[in-house]
Structure 1
Amino acid sequence: MTVKEAKFAIGHVVRHRVHPFRGVIFDVDPEFSNSDEWWETIPEEHRPSKDQPFYHLFAENDTSYYVAYVSEQNLLADDSGEPVDHPDIGGMFHTLEDGRYRLSGVAH
């Protein structure tokens, strides 16, 4: 299995390619690193390849906030410039600049 270099980084604002949610990346796995039980909940015809980066997101949609685990192939950069309102963002990040949140306590 070949591990790909991640297209997105911690702090990037992204949106899902199919489902109506967006979020801020707070962790990156170089390849699938969740449980087999979680993997099997994805309908087989929609399961992404495990040998690609997977991202942990502070995610939001029109009705809720949650944490999502999403394959790279299902993410697109969110170029809206709009902030993500997830309540956990403030504990890890501060300002949104050029489509990316800056980690708290890290110099620019």
Structure 2
Amino acid sequence: MEIQPKFTIGQLVHHTLFDYRGVIVDVDPVFQGTEEWYEMMARSRPPKDKPWYHVLVHNANHGTYVAERHLEPDESAEQINHPALNEIFDRFVEGRYYRSRGTH
């Protein structure tokens, strides 16, 4: 049985450990990274068999790969600032990003 992700593409989130805001750009149903990356980066050992998210980080030039347990909804409804945002999303409406064109 596949676990349903709590968050969806375009949703604003807050990282509970590192205290940053971002927007979901992709969802993996389970961990898709390498064992080396997990050993080096995932020090809290989040579960690999639950959803992981690709997140554009607010006021940064990078994205992150985050386990679901470290995210919560960002209720601020404020847009994020990231250089890749307009390449992925077309609109921001009521605290959520949308893409209307046919991108991945």
TM-score of the two chains, using structure 1 as the length reference? 0.85
**Count of residue pairs brought into register by the alignment:** 101
Contact 1:32/1:52 (CA < 8 Å) preserved in 2?
yes
Q: Which residue of 2 aligns with 1:8?
A: 7
Sequence identity percentage: 40
Q: Which residue of 2 aligns with 1:48?
A: 46
Q: Which residue of 2 aligns with 1:26?
A: 25
Q: CA deviation at 1:60?
A: 2.5
Letter in 2 for 1:37: E
SS of residue in 2 equivalent to 1:65: coil
Q: Which residue of 2 aligns with 1:66?
A: 62
Runs of 4+ in 1 over 3 A off after TM superposition: none
Q: Does 1:92 align with 2:91?
A: no
Contact 1:26/1:57 (CA < 8 Å) preserved in 2?
yes
Bigger strand share: 1
SS of residue in 1 equivalent to 2:72: strand
Cα-Cα RMSD: 1.5
Whole-angstrom CA distance in 2 between matches of 1:3 and 1:35: 21
Unaligned 5+ segments in structure 2 are none
TM-score of the two chains, using structure 2 as the length reference? 0.88
Q: Which residue of 2 aligns with 1:83?
A: 79
Whole-angstrom CA distance in 2 between matches of 1:5 and 1:48: 17
Q: CA deviation at 1:33?
A: 0.5
Q: CA deviation at 1:21?
A: 1.1
Unaligned 5+ segments in structure 1 are none
Q: Spell out, residue by residue over 1:9-47, the C-alpha distance to the aligned partner (whole angstroms, 9 max, x if none).
A: 11101010111211111110000000111100132xx11
Whole-angstrom CA distance in 1 between matches of 2:54 and 2:39: 18
